[in-house]
Amino acid sequence: MIIAIDGPAASGKGTLGKRLAQHYGYRHLDTGVIYRAVAHELIRQGADLADETRAVRAALELDPDTFGDPALKSQTMGEAASVVSAIPKVRLVLVDFQRQFAMTPPGAVLDGRDIGTVICPDADVKIFVVADPKVRARRRALEARGRGEEADEAKILADILARDERDQNRPVAPLKPAKDAYLLDNSKLDIEAGVRAAIDIVEAVRAGRLRV
């Protein structure tokens, strides 16, 4: 089974996807990490984030061993990832890696922005996760402080809104729900409740009780 989790609030530490994968004994890929890794490499080279040639090369040379690097988690890297992810050729290069991951047994949970629409349009279950941007800004600030970073919530909110706008309006693979995605608003749910709600959706879809 392939579970696609998309939406502006899909990742947030990758917790929801990770927890779902643990629940079902599946593999998990937080696809935002891929774009963050490409952005990180460009920054390391001192290159422009819009440098298509270098960005494509970084995407081709992607090394999954670097996905755990804490430097990838920062708000700044998320912003930079949003910029490189708007380059169509970068997205194209990364399609195969994601599809291979999705198709490898025993099953997979992928979270990102275009999993249900582009990467795995035939995913068995698609969940589109949204949350009030103010709530997301609060959560990101708490996460950043938890990592020992300073966090200005108003700036984080402005960044979130700018990033959503860019992700939703790029010409290739824009952030939008697949027609058959089930909407999950976790503004008022803590992590545990969000995970339970997602499992309920998966179970209902599998049992044929939920049609979207």
The amino acid occupying position 191 is: I
Tokens of 78: 């998320």
Q: Measuring CA to CA, how many Å separate 112 from each of 4, 48, 95, 109?
A: 8, 24, 12, 10
Residue closer to ligand DC, measured from CB, 32 or 177: 32
The phi and psi torsions of 184 (rounded to 5 degrees) equal -125, 115
Q: Which tokens go with 40?
A: 């990180």
Of 134 and 206, nearer to ligand DC (C-beta) is 134
CA dist 205 and 212 (Å) reads 9
18 or 210, CB closer to ligand DC? 18
Closest approach, Cβ 209 to ligand DC, in A, equals 28
Least distance (Å) between residue 140 CB and ligand DC: 9
For 8, the 3-state DSSP assignment is coil
As measured in angstroms, the least distance from the Cβ of 105 to ligand DC is 22
List residues near ligand DC by CB under 6 A. 11, 31-32, 35-36, 78, 81-82, 85, 112-114, 163, 167
The SS3 call for residue 7 is coil
Measured between alpha carbons, how far is 130 from 113 in angstroms, rounded to an integer?
11
Residue nearest to ligand DC (CB): 32
b/e 147-156 (16+ beta carbons within 10 angstroms → b): eeeebeeeeb
Least distance to ligand DC, CB of residue 189, Å = 18
Q: Which is nearer to ligand DC, 42 or 81 (CB)?
A: 81
Residues in the chain: 212
Minimum CB separation from ligand DC for residue 7, in Å? 9
Provide the minimum distance between the beta carbon of 63 and ligand DC in the complex, in angstroms, as a whole number.
17
Q: What residues pair up with 126 in beta bridges, in sequence order?
A: 4
Whether the CB-CB separation of 40 and 71 falls below 8 Å is answered with yes
The nearer residue to ligand DC, 66 or 200, going by C-beta atoms, is 66
Cβ proximity to ligand DC, 175 vs 205, nearer residue: 175
